[in-house]
Structure 1
Amino acid sequence: MLFTWQTDSICVVFQWWRMYNRFTVAISFLGIVGLGVGYELVRELTRRYESYINSVSRGDDMLLPLIIKRYLPDRSMRDRLILSFLYAFQVLYSFFLMYACLCLFL
């Protein structure tokens, strides 16, 4: 990838995702912004699922300090697998988004 000001048949990420003129550059930019919004949605869903697991598994016991409450290992194997999948998907999504931005701007 080289830095260029030309908008002549630039491949963004995939072979079929090409920019031929300023209109397709603008559409690609909006698509990458949409991917960024989707990434933030995935992050928020992961956070909500994790807080749901924490509230269901531990209850709202005010006797335990928050630091101790956070590190109690009482999550089920299913919950751990789902969270692992969500975190892995988040990392994959973030690398794809970073590569798409890099291809668009360089």
Structure 2
Amino acid sequence: MGHGGDMDMGEGQCSMNMLFTWSSKNLCIIFPQWRVTGTASLLISLLAIIVLTAGYEWVRDMSRRYEQSHSAHLQAYNGNTQPEESRVSEISSLLSPGKDARTNAEKKGVIIKAAFYAAQVFYSFFIM
């Protein structure tokens, strides 16, 4: 049955096993250049996949830790508020102190959280 192309699965082609199989003949992992050729390369590839997955979990952990420290940092801005009668007087400023610093910290936090999220999504698609 011709489909207009050469379907020869020779030595240069990656294996297209879609079902659970024990065959590692011409098995390509992630890229066609990352090819399993024998038992040693299969074991090295499995170890590399374990390292990649551990790296993904490390990125997730760093993201969670940053979010906790960032929220604690923002809570410090809320903890510096004083009662209304002691804050306002004729010589005090009507602008709340630290408001710009809090806004800048929030913006920086959003950017860093977005970068962590982008790294996690890239990593998850890569190891999928």
Structure 1 length as normaliser, TM-score? 0.72
1:15-94 alignment, distance < 5 Å: 15-59=32-76, 76-94=106-124
Q: 1:11 aligns with which of 28, 31, 39?
A: 28
The superposition leaves residues 3-38 of structure 1 with CA deviations (integer Å, 9 ceiling, x where unpaired) of 443322321111221100111111111100111110
What 5-or-longer segments of structure 1 have no aligned partner?
62-73, 99-106
What amino acid is the match of 1:89? A
Name the residue aligned to 1:95. 125
Whichever residue aligns with residue 82 of structure 1, its letter is I
| Aligned length in residues | 86
Percent identity, aligned pairs only, is 36
Amino acid at match of 1:36: T
CA RMSD of aligned residues (A): 1.8
Whichever of the two has the greater Rg, that structure is 2
Q: What is the identity, as a one-letter code, of the residue corresponding to 1:96?
A: F
Q: Matched residues in 1 for 2:125 and 2:36: separation?
A: 21
Supply the AA of the counterpart residue of 1:30: L
Q: Which one-letter code corresponds to 2:29 in the other structure?
A: V
Runs of 4+ residues over 3 Å off in structure 1: none
Larger proportion of helix:
1
State TM-score, norm by structure 2. 0.60
RCO higher in structure (CA 8 A, sep ≥6)? 1
